[in-house]
Structure 1
Amino acid sequence: MYIIATAVTAFFFAFLAIKFFNPVAIEIGLVDKPCERKQHAGHIPLIGGISIFLAVLAASLLWLPNTLELRMYLIASAMMVFIGALDDKFDLRVRVRIVGQIIIASLMIYGVGGYISNLGNLFGFGDVTLGPVGIVFTYVGIIVVINAYNMIDGIDGLIGSLSINTFTSIAILFIMSGQTNYLSYPLILATATVPYLMYNLGFFEKFFNKECKKIFMGDAGSMFVGLSVIWLLTMATQGEQASFRPVTALWICAIPLMDMLAIVVRRYKNGKSPFKPDRDHLHHIVQRAGLSSKQALVAISSAAAAMSVIGLAGEYFSIPDVIMLTGFIVTFACYVMVIRRITKFEKVQ
């Protein structure tokens, strides 16, 4: 009953936030305008992330224990959403965003002592412990995951579907481990994302013939999602009360990570900034290969779900870390090869 109440509260407040902030966003110009890189009709309110955060805030304050971890998470999230909203409105420089992310990462690392110190038995010779180097590793991990989810947001429904997939997978892993202390966190995040996804995909127009303005997640939302993912993964994989292994975390957020790693390497080889926007992300490539936007959404979301299932199965059957890591590396290598083949085929055409 308690879990249901938290989920219903998150959904309800997210829906109300969207209804309230929709006209406000249009009034203050917090909208996404079409351009060469962004091909959509009209000015779309960038309030998805704000609505999700406010729903998480409301549900957390109403139902969750007032712990240091919760307080620091909500403060860090509020800062992330604020920086993201400024970026949505004023298009901040990359350096400004990265500095903000480093400051926010410090809240997690030093505020609650949450950092990655153990990578598990990745090579079959015992746990890989990082010691003080783990702090640096955690800073890098936080920035990578935040920007991975930020970069993957490119077609309707994708960031919403991928984030729900990740949060649901984390919730299942908590249940599998029998350690449900943090179960409400991913469930609140997942249910708070559902109203955004419904508006973003035009659910109300399709099924109720009700005219509702489309909304986008915005950088405020995608960076907030990334922060929430890495925060939960760090808390769930580290310490004596860890709920699952670090290698499993790779599988449940595989698509955003693979997309980011592949595109950063590709941009670096071409002498471009890793953070310079372009139309060479996974969703762009599969669309150019012939899939429609809806088909691309289904294909990518299905691939993400399949990889999460692999991670969950590996955890359930206690498949050795070294096999899970090797499988992930092989999968990433195959991913890169397929993307290269598609790209080469485009050039030939």
Structure 2
Amino acid sequence: MREYLLTLCVTAAVTYLLTGPVRKFAIVAGAMPEIRARDVHREPTPRLGGIAMFFGLCAGLLVADHLGSLNEVFVRSNEPRALLSGAALIWLIGVLDDKFEIDALIKLGGQMIAAGVMVMQGLTILWLPVPGIGTVAVTQWQGTLLTVALVVVTINAVNFVDGLDGLAAGMVCIAAAAFFMYAYRIWYSYGIEAAAPATLFAAILMGMCLGFLPHNMHPARIFMGDSGSMLIGLVLAAGAISVTGQIDPDNMELFAGGSERSAVHQMVPVYIPLLMPLTIIAIPAADLVLAIVRRTWRGQSPFAADRGHLHHRLLEVGHSHSRAVLIMYFWSALIGFGALAYSVNSASMWIVLSVVFLSAIGLVLLLLPRFTPRAPRWAEGFVPPRYRSRRSAVDAPDNAGQEPSEQECPEDGPTPVAAAVAGVNGATALGARSRSGKGRKVRI
């Protein structure tokens, strides 16, 4: 465990320290797109944060290669090299998209090629544990199709949810933490070394997200862009493929006590979330499916951007930016760690009741703006604006610091003295603004 923590900390440190210089590079390179209709932020913000995350990934793999027990992962398996190859390819495509806005179909083709590169180097699904049946071997082309599909779906699920400051990095970090516990339990509790690569991938992924989050929390100083969202989606998918499709359930037969079919059946609570990594990132996956259905129903391309994502709907309901992100964190943690608890002890009713109770709390949080108390009119001057009635806020706005209305201004315009004073004040304010540099929207 100490070696995993060291790898996580090194990855987080490298990502954190490089994000600042990468931000300056993104500003100089012009990777700052104009504000679009679907964007939530109000000022141009640099992207290319995936550059720092990629070098954090490389640093984590390099450190792990020089640590005692983790070095055996590189000796006995080619999966770390396969991950690095696929990650480098998808990262380059993301960098080009952050700078030049490449076509969506080109990105989709690049995602499939990156998945194919990992398949060619051995990171692929070899068999599937099916409940009640046992291990089902898949042919080479079936394993390739399943692997490519899983990688593409996971990448786009993470990419679709990257719409608020800190949302994608935080949700993937929560998913990686739950995934790390899954893989670590299979390796050390059952003595299966084939789960070691997936455990390492999850630890590195947590480090990448934790190192980037301080720069990406609201208000974000930099966005990860497609170079970051597609990268962390690929790493998460690679870990799921490694631990699900390459661990032979025969190795668990002694521990499960029975035949291979019995072993697989008893390990269903563990394998189902691993076989379906979308269970861990269920919120992004649901957002992906809803977006495809919504856009197809309207006659649009599934890749056409809009403001119908789940986080946009939370903002429309009345949640603040930070509260919407925390609500998404809550649901991701509930689903991910609920599946983890169920895999450890699926016979406990307390786990089911706890999940149901927390789900009820989550529903209350979703509808919280509708339950916001409103102060009576006589007390509205003593409470924050959000507790005042909407009608009062519209009918009686605060006139302090506002320009006079048209009815208050003379029809012939200001007097010469007033115009002269205004001109002097305006020139003084403009000179102070230019000297202080506060007129710039982006600080390097």
- Normalising by structure 2, report the TM-score: 0.66
Deviations 1:253-302 (A, max 9, x none): 11111110121112112211111110101101121112111111111110
The equivalent of 1:186 in structure 2 is 202
Q: Is structure 2 residue 307 aligned with structure 1 residue 307? A: no
The equivalent of 1:17 in structure 2 is 18
The equivalent of 1:223 in structure 2 is 230
The whole-number CA distance in structure 1 between the counterparts of 2:273 and 2:137 is: 14
Alignment CA distance shift 1:136-1:119 (3 Å): farther
Alignment CA distance shift 1:103-1:260 (3 Å): same
What amino acid maps onto 2:318 in structure 1? Answer: G
CA contact (8 A) 1:157 1:297 kept: yes
Alignment CA distance shift 1:201-1:78 (3 Å): same
Secondary structure at the aligned position of 2:130 is classed as: coil
The whole-number CA distance in structure 1 between the counterparts of 2:218 and 2:326 is: 16
CA contact (8 A) 2:49 2:222 kept: yes
Shift of 1:130: 4.5
2:94 to 69, 77, 84: 84
The whole-number CA distance in structure 1 between the counterparts of 2:278 and 2:45 is: 33
Alignment CA distance shift 1:128-1:241 (3 Å): closer
The equivalent of 2:113 in structure 1 is 103
2:151 to 142, 145, 152: 142
Shift of 1:116: 6.1
Question: Number of aligned pairs?
Answer: 315
CA contact (8 A) 1:52 1:189 kept: no
Shift of 1:315: 1.6
Moved more, 137-146 or 33-42: 33-42
The whole-number CA distance in structure 1 between the counterparts of 2:286 and 2:129 is: 19
The whole-number CA distance in structure 2 between the counterparts of 1:116 and 1:219 is: 30
Q: Is structure 2 residue 62 aligned with structure 1 residue 61? A: yes
Q: Is structure 2 residue 160 aligned with structure 1 residue 151? A: yes
Deviations 1:168-204 (A, max 9, x none): 111111222225623232112112211311111159x
Moved more, 233-242 or 98-107: 233-242
Alignment of structure 1 residues 294-333 onto 2, 5 Å = 294-318=322-346
CA contact (8 A) 2:51 2:227 kept: yes
Alignment CA distance shift 1:256-1:129 (3 Å): farther
The whole-number CA distance in structure 1 between the counterparts of 2:231 and 2:200 is: 17
1:238 to 245, 252, 256: 245
Gaps of 5+ in 1: 204-212, 339-349
Shift of 1:113: 4.5
Deviations 1:219-243 (A, max 9, x none): 1100011111111001011123579
Shift of 1:90: 0.9
The whole-number CA distance in structure 2 between the counterparts of 1:255 and 1:137 is: 21
Where do 4+ consecutive residues of structure 1 move more than 6 Å? none
Shift of 1:9: 1.1
Shift of 1:129: 5.2
What amino acid maps onto 2:179 in structure 1? Answer: I
Shift of 1:318: 4.7
The equivalent of 2:122 in structure 1 is 112
Secondary structure at the aligned position of 1:35 is classed as: coil
Alignment CA distance shift 1:286-1:130 (3 Å): farther
1:197 to 202, 213, 223: 213
Q: Is structure 2 residue 180 aligned with structure 1 residue 171? A: yes
Structure showing greater radius of gyration is 2
Q: Is structure 2 residue 297 aligned with structure 1 residue 269? A: yes
CA contact (8 A) 1:18 1:47 kept: no
Shift of 1:164: 0.3
CA contact (8 A) 1:171 1:186 kept: yes
The equivalent of 1:290 in structure 2 is 318
Secondary structure at the aligned position of 1:311 is classed as: helix
What amino acid maps onto 2:180 in structure 1? Answer: A
The whole-number CA distance in structure 2 between the counterparts of 1:168 and 1:26 is: 32
Q: Is structure 2 residue 27 aligned with structure 1 residue 26? A: yes
The percentage of aligned residue pairs carrying the same residue is 27
Deviations 1:34-63 (A, max 9, x none): 221223233212132221111110121122
Alignment CA distance shift 1:24-1:295 (3 Å): same
The whole-number CA distance in structure 1 between the counterparts of 2:82 and 2:142 is: 23
CA contact (8 A) 1:116 1:138 kept: no
The equivalent of 1:44 in structure 2 is 45
What amino acid maps onto 2:152 in structure 1? Answer: I
The whole-number CA distance in structure 1 between the counterparts of 2:90 and 2:118 is: 12
Deviations 1:52-95 (A, max 9, x none): 11111012112233452111211110111110111111111111
The whole-number CA distance in structure 2 between the counterparts of 1:141 and 1:154 is: 22
Shift of 1:107: 1.2
CA contact (8 A) 2:50 2:231 kept: yes
Secondary structure at the aligned position of 2:52 is classed as: helix
RMSD over aligned Cα atoms: 2.7
CA contact (8 A) 2:22 2:49 kept: no
What amino acid maps onto 1:237 in structure 2? Answer: T
Alignment CA distance shift 1:311-1:94 (3 Å): same
- Normalising by structure 1, report the TM-score: 0.82
The equivalent of 1:208 in structure 2 is none
Shift of 1:305: 0.6
The equivalent of 2:142 in structure 1 is 133
The whole-number CA distance in structure 1 between the counterparts of 2:85 and 2:16 is: 22
